[in-house]
Amino acid sequence: MIMAQFNQMQMMQQAAIAQAQAQAAEQIRLQQAAQAQQVAMTTQSQPSPQSEEKIKHLEEEIAQMKALLAEILGRDSQKSGISLHEALKRQEVDEEILKDMAANTNPGDTLVDMHTPAAKDTLINYLNEHVRFSDGVKLNRHGVRIVALLGTTGVGKTTTLAKIAAKFVLEQRANVALITADTYRISAVEQLKTYSDILELPLEIVYNPAELAASIERHRNKELILIDTAGRSQHDEYQMRELEEFLRVNPRIEKHLVISATTKYTDAKQIMNKFAQVNPDRIIFTKIDETGSLGMILNLLNDNRCSLSYITTGQSVPDDIERASSEVLANLLLEKVEE
């Protein structure tokens, strides 16, 4: 039995070496083809379409071979530990993203143990290239910053707004005002009133766009105005139009779409598509502590124009909220594997 396992490991290693050699040969071919194309371009006014197609084909072949090599080596690496590739796979990161990561990094970079600094660096570098981060809310040098939180019901908008407000009041001594347009839920108003009393912040309740515009004007001397909106179903066109009218009262409103990390990827994608009509500037993911998989975040934001601003990890105010960054997201993705 032991000899059979040993022989099998040797065969897999030999196959991996053969794949690596083939990949190296393809890289040399690509370099030679690129050099040949450069020479051709110096003698011709326009490059040959056939040459461009050949280069593109070679690049695709190398990308496929690197992804295949990562898959082959990954099977063996899992015996001694969890590789970065396997960790992200367990986090339900899309297979196409995993292939792209393997194809656009050095051979073996996605196969190192997830606990090593090299694995974290590889993930951070990929996130920096494919996910946008806004590092939370920032105050203006001059004039008031206006921020509205929007999203579906039950995603934690009110609690998140209170966390942001508390951070600015307690850490920066900022002059903040709160406005709520969530008049559908009495509990939401009461919850926000409790936080406003604790933080000693003014709170206004508005019922229509005209009242929102007037409230913003009254607090134009503040450093930050935070607006809590009512939860809107992405399936209700009337509610979406109503939200659009509220947000149209001031072009300076910075819109943060709040999505629960417990949401299914297909639903989260639909939410982003439907809320696109109000042009959200940022994304906030809440309830990180209530799910065992965060791959949906990477799947949703990969090469997306919206940037990630905050991540919340619990109900505690003002704690359990972090300004988003590639390092923060990488840590959470890797930590979730071992929970």
pLDDT (average), residues 35-54: 60
Give the whole-angstrom CA distance, residue 22 versus residue 330. 32
Tell whether 41 is covered by a domain. yes
Residues 222 and 328 in one domain: yes
Residues 182 and 290 in one domain: yes
Residues 153 and 100 in one domain: no
Tell whether 163 is covered by a domain. yes
Tens digit of each residue's pLDDT (9 = 90 or more) over 272-294: 999 999 999 999 999 999 999 99
Look up the domain containing 27 and give its range: 2-122
Least confident of 14-28, 72-86, 160-174, 254-268: 14-28
Residues 264 and 312 in one domain: yes
Query: How many domains are there within the chain?
Result: 2
Tell whether 143 is covered by a domain. yes
| Residue from 274, 255, 254 nearest 263 by CA | 274
Is the omega angle on the peptide bond into residue 49 within 30 degrees of 0, that is, cis? no
pLDDT (average), residues 293-302: 94
Boundary residue ending a domain (67, 98, 122): 122
Residues 209 and 261 in one domain: yes
For 288, 313, 325, the CA distances from 320, given in Å and listed in that order, are 10, 5, 15
Instruction: For residue 314, give every residue at least 6 positions away whose Cβ sits within 8 Å of its Cβ, in sequence order, or none.
Output: 289, 320
Tell whether 128 is covered by a domain. no
Residues 286 and 318 in one domain: yes
Boundary residue ending a domain (122, 141, 159): 122
Tens digit of each residue's pLDDT (9 = 90 or more) over 126-146: 999 999 999 899 999 999 999
pLDDT at 105: 87
Tens digit of each residue's pLDDT (9 = 90 or more) over 217-264: 999 999 999 999 988 787 778 888 999 999 999 999 999 999 999 999
Tell whether 82 is covered by a domain. yes
Cα 156 from chain centre? 18
Tell whether 57 is covered by a domain. yes
Residue 312: how many other CB atoms lie within 10 Å: 25
Task: Supply the mean pLDDT for the chain.
Answer: 84
151: left (phi over 0), alpha (psi -120 to 50) or beta: left
Tell whether 284 is covered by a domain. yes
pLDDT band at 15 (very low <50, low <70, confident <90, very high): low
pLDDT band at 95 (very low <50, low <70, confident <90, very high): very high
Residues 168 and 67 in one domain: no
72: pLDDT strictly greater than 90: no
Tell whether 127 is covered by a domain. no
Residues 162 and 104 in one domain: no
Residues 239 and 201 in one domain: yes
198: pLDDT strictly greater than 50: yes
Boundary residue ending a domain (102, 122, 142): 122
2: pLDDT strictly greater than 50: no
- Three-state DSSP class for residue 55: helix
271: pLDDT strictly greater than 50: yes
105-114, 176-185, 306-315 — which one is most confidently predicted on average?
306-315
* CATH code assigned at 228: 3.40.50.300
Residues 20 and 118 in one domain: yes
